[in-house]
Amino acid sequence: MLPRRSFIPTVILTGLLVGTLDIISACTHFMIATGDKSFTKVLVFVASGFFGKTAFSAGPAMAWWGLLFHYIIAFSFTLLFFLVYPKAPALRKYPVVTGLVYGLLVWCAMEFLVLPMSNIPPRHYRIANTVIGISILMVMIGLPLSLVARKFYGDGNSGDVIKS
């Protein structure tokens, strides 16, 4: 039997996992939707949340800032999930549903709290992009978070003890 990982390394690795899945999906969607093969535009857009319109003319370093901000956000949602999960036993009963719902909640938090408070330029809304964005967060963030947290904390059915 392999030794159980401690809380902090598990959260870090899981944050890296979901952050990577999300950014790859977002860049892929952007490239397919626009035909533009420059995935760095997605990262610069993320950086514009902090730097505003100047991010678009500030050079290639902005892509690195965008990647940093993206992972900070991914780690924040990962940490939140790992802190709430052991306190809400109902989350363990249906891990797939839990993950998908959490992904939807992440989208709502980003769309209605984070993005309105950021400096991103106005966006044009299209229902197809909204559905794709929600789907990406549900499958690439929520679902892996739920499955990893369930593995880390146990399913609650076999006398698992939650340790941090």
The answer to whether position 54 is within a domain reads: yes
Assess contact for 106 and 142: CB atoms under 8 A. yes
CA–CA separation, 110 and 94 (whole Å): 24
The answer to whether position 160 is within a domain reads: no
The answer to whether position 55 is within a domain reads: yes
The answer to whether position 69 is within a domain reads: yes
pTM of the model: 0.89
Domain residues for 87? 7-153
For the chain, what is the domain count?
A: 1
pLDDT for the residue numbered 4: 66
Low-confidence residues in the chain, pLDDT < 70? 1-4, 156-164
